[in-house]
Amino acid sequence: MKELDLPTHSSKVTLDSIIELVLFLRTQQYRTLKNIKALSQTEKYKDNLALLASIPGIGLITAMTILTELDDISRFKNLDSLCSYVGLVPMTNSSGEFDSVGHITKRQNKVPGSMLVESSWVAIRNDPALMLAYQKLIKRMKPTKAIIRIAKKMVNRIRYVLKNQVPYVKAVVE
pLDDT (tens digit per residue) in 93-119: 556 665 544 555 555 556 778 889 899
Contacts of residue 109, defined as CB under 8 A and 6 or more positions apart, other chains included, come to 69, 85, 86, 87
Q: Which amino acid is at 53?
A: A
Spatial separation of the C-alpha atoms in residues 13 and 111, rounded to whole Å: 37
Query: Do 86 and 162 contact (CB within 8 A), yes or no?
Result: no
Ranges of beta strands (E only) in 24-137 are 90-95, 98-104
Q: Which amino acid is at 3?
A: E
The CB density around residue 120, as the number of other CB atoms within 10 Å, is 25
Out of 36-40, 68-72, 168-172, the most confident range is 36-40
Q: Which amino acid is at 71?
A: D
Comparing 174 with 41, the larger pLDDT belongs to 41
Q: What is the pTM (predicted TM-score) of this model? A: 0.76
